[in-house]
Chains A and B, each alone.
Chain A
């Protein structure tokens, strides 16, 4: 084997081993953080974080959700109208928003808004020795800093997703009925039959995983930040990039898993819906 080839192989193996080491580090960090749940976090630490994650994200999530529905309506209306199916447009908007676009885009917005801010905050605490100060005061930083953020995201991102879904459905219906003058009665009647309880449940379960991924990745990036302003900036950027990628990867695997589960439970595809089939 030639020397340059040997060097290339060695460098590739090094990169693979570094990637595994980073994955191992993140897994250990996540496990240790979640394990601290045996001691309940105090209300004093939970409430401000829940306020920032939940209440302060409402406008961003509501606007994002509403515009997703509105844009969907504009994009699909002409095709449906040309087929003479304008009154059927609600079902495609609602199913798309509730099953995919609402959870994924709400999580993406929250990764940008909350994830980056968490990473920057923890990175600043790290480089200004506030994390060391916590340890010196006998407090586990994973319990005090990471666990409340994880819990807040896991509990509140699903609720924010419901809001995004609602606003998406509302935005889509407003564009169809007010701008494109689709008859509201037929619009809602045709929409009802196609939203399954299963879809709603999956749409609520997925954000739990997205919330856990966003918070754990962001906290991990922040707690392992390098020194200086550059280190803090990089932590915030990489928190968003990795959170976004993990949302898409998780979305794929969760969709695959839930589809298989659905097939296993209802092989004949008999499904419960809110309205007449």
Chain B
């Protein structure tokens, strides 16, 4: 699976940091993502995973450091070039982010209508192909997003993201809120996408089954609020096997879903608050 030899620094963060209203969310992040790799990003809610995805596609600008794509710093690009580069990405948002006012067909066809010279017949053919690839029936095309279930929305969101054949796919918690069967369907679709096209994938998730099934490499972030000023925020970087064998308690706690110490910690805080 590892095609890292072709371009080991396809996506790269160099001392990247992000702050909102003076509060640091990400601090001094350094890592490279080789072309073709499937990287899974795990970590507690609020540790900056979604922010990381938005930095990678330049929806947000890093407060410090650099974010590079294919050797180019996003900040050095003008608006036209930034847009061109963004079209090399596909983004499956957490809530799918389908356009409410458009039908499923128009949602999936959106990218083609905006950036291709295909006529309506060709667009219809391509949309149908993508919709079938994600396991949906033709009858869904005339529906509005509000009429779809959570799993269906995610699959249509994936079809829309894939319609322009991206080189990088960003998945923001693709299985959150889905039942176990649908979770497996989405995981299979991530694998199938990688099989069908040479795509580099970055998957943000809390779901260990997704980690097991799709990851070439796993990284874990830790919330800055619980770190000392000089501690690194990236607390794990390795393969799935290494993830489960790592002695780091913070990682083990997360992958086994143990909240015991965390609960005690918060109870102690509450107790202290009551006393004060």
Contacts and interface: CB of A to CB of B under 8 A. Distances in A.
Interface in A158-187: none
A69 B134 CA distance: 60
A201 interface: no
A138 B94 contact: no
Secondary structure call for the A interface:
helix
Interface of A: 48, 124-125, 128-130, 132-140
A138 B93 contact: no
Given A48-B101, A138-B83, A133 B111 contact: no
Contacts of B93: 129, 132-133
B94 A129 contact: yes
Contacts, number: 52
A196 B97 CA distance: 53
Contact of B54 (A132, A137, A139, A140): A132
Interface residues of B, number: 25
A44 to B, nearest CB: 8
Contacts of A134: 99
Nearest to A132: B59
Interface in B73-105: 83-84, 86-87, 89-91, 93-95, 97-101
B114 A138 contact: yes
Contacts of A128: 95, 97, 100
Interface string B184-222: 000000000000000000000000000000000000000
A130 B59 contact: no
A130 B89 CA distance: 16
A129 B98 CA distance: 9
B254 interface: no
A130 B99 contact: yes
Counting from the closest, the 10 A-B pairs by CB-CB distance are: A133-B97, A129-B97, A136-B91, A129-B93, A138-B87, A138-B83, A137-B111, A130-B97, A132-B59, A139-B114
A129 B92 CA distance: 11
Contacts of B90: 136
Q: Which of B86, B98, B99, B161 has the most chain A CB atoms closer than 10 A to its own CB?
A: B99
A130 B84 CA distance: 19
Q: Which of A124, A135, A136 has the most chain B CB atoms closer than 10 A to its own CB?
A: A136
Interface string B100-117: 110000000011001100
Contact of B89 (A48, A124, A136, A139): A136
